[in-house]
Amino acid sequence: MSKQLKVGIVGLGLIGGSMARAYSTAGHAVLAHDINAASLEAALAQNAVCGKLTAQNAGECDVIFLAVYPAAATAWLRVSAPHLTKSSVVIDLCGTKRGICGTCFGMAREYGFTFVGGHPMAGTQYSGFENSKNELFRGAPMVIVPPEDCDEDTLTRVRELLSPVGFGQITVSTAEKHDRIIAFTSQLAHVVSNAYVKSPNAQVHKGFSAGSYKDLTRVAWLNEQMWTELFMENSDYLTEEIDGIIAALTAYRDAMAMGDAQKLKELLREGRLAKERVDRGSEDK
């Protein structure tokens, strides 16, 4: 994109800070808002942003990203919406979509701007602006949830606005499909990791663990305030996934308790074949 964009970012944590760095590195002007004054000052000092985003100057931005928790995102937009224009595009970066899209699509219709749900599929177990990176999203998937009446011209514009970040793939979804799938691909993994590391043996694992332990426990180091809000917003789909894995684990446990090696072998084989099908499907796409 040759035109210099003016980008607004609400929230300068890992995700918002990385978005700010990506756009600034690409030569675009970034305005930001964060209730943590230290994060905002650090972003200004490191030239990740060039000014402060306010409700009053939000209408000057080509695109605004809401990189805070869902409740905070909708609260900021409710105050700022009257200052936005017909050409304003607002994209949230929250981990669930049904709640925030339901509220913000309504605000967009009322005030005449464009709102699109968004979820960049990248991150680390570390949070905060100090851990943000200008290439965190390069090559990563991005899911967008446009309103039902969104036309192709608007989708093209959204893709162009996102292009400086360097996403490898942009997937268009509904809010319901996003939340159903993300309950499995992300939220369940965080629950399992967080529960797994509560074993007393986690405190004495050194010298006995390798890659499998590290892979399974990486996301146990989470932000409990953020993930509580996201889990509760998606509790219907997430509890279904938790029920499913409890049932699967119970089958393994019962086979061993009954000394049924053949049943255990069958269960392990089923899991291996399921993983092979997943990997083959990924290679085909």
Query: What is the gyration radius of the CA atoms in the chain, in angstroms?
Result: 21
Position 5 scores a pLDDT of 95
The answer to whether 39 and 14 have CB atoms below 8 angstroms apart is no
Q: What is the DSSP string of 103-137?
A: HHHHHHHHHT-EEEEEEE----S--SGGG--TTTT
In DSSP terms, which residues pair with 66 in a beta bridge? Answer: 10, 92
* Residue 22, C-beta contacts closer than 8 angstroms, at least 6 positions apart: 134, 135, 136, 137, 138, 164, 165, 166
Position 258 scores a pLDDT of 98
29 φ/ψ sector (left φ>0, alpha ψ -120 to 50, else beta): beta
Per-residue model confidence as pLDDT tens digits over 7-40: 999 999 999 999 999 999 999 999 999 999 999 9
Position 285 scores a pLDDT of 53
Distance CA 16, CA 72 (A): 14
Position 1 scores a pLDDT of 54
Q: Tell me, yes or no, if the pTM score tops 0.85.
A: yes
Position 284 scores a pLDDT of 58
User: Running DSSP on this structure, what letter comes out for residue 53?
Assistant: -
User: Running DSSP on this structure, what letter comes out for residue 49?
Assistant: -
**CA 68 → CA 154, 208, 229, distances in Å?**
24, 38, 11
Judged on CB neighbours under 10 Å (0-12, 13-18, 19+), 69 is: buried
Per-residue model confidence as pLDDT tens digits over 227-263: 999 999 999 999 999 999 999 999 999 999 999 999 9
Q: What is the pLDDT along the chain (285 residues), one digit of tens a residue?
A: 568 999 999 999 999 999 999 999 999 999 999 999 999 999 999 999 999 999 999 999 999 999 999 999 999 999 999 999 999 999 999 999 999 999 999 999 999 999 999 999 988 777 899 999 999 999 999 999 999 999 999 999 999 999 999 999 999 999 999 999 999 999 999 999 999 999 998 887 887 778 888 889 888 988 899 999 999 999 999 999 999 999 999 999 999 999 999 999 999 999 999 999 999 886 655
In DSSP terms, which residues pair with 144 in a beta bridge? Answer: 118, 172
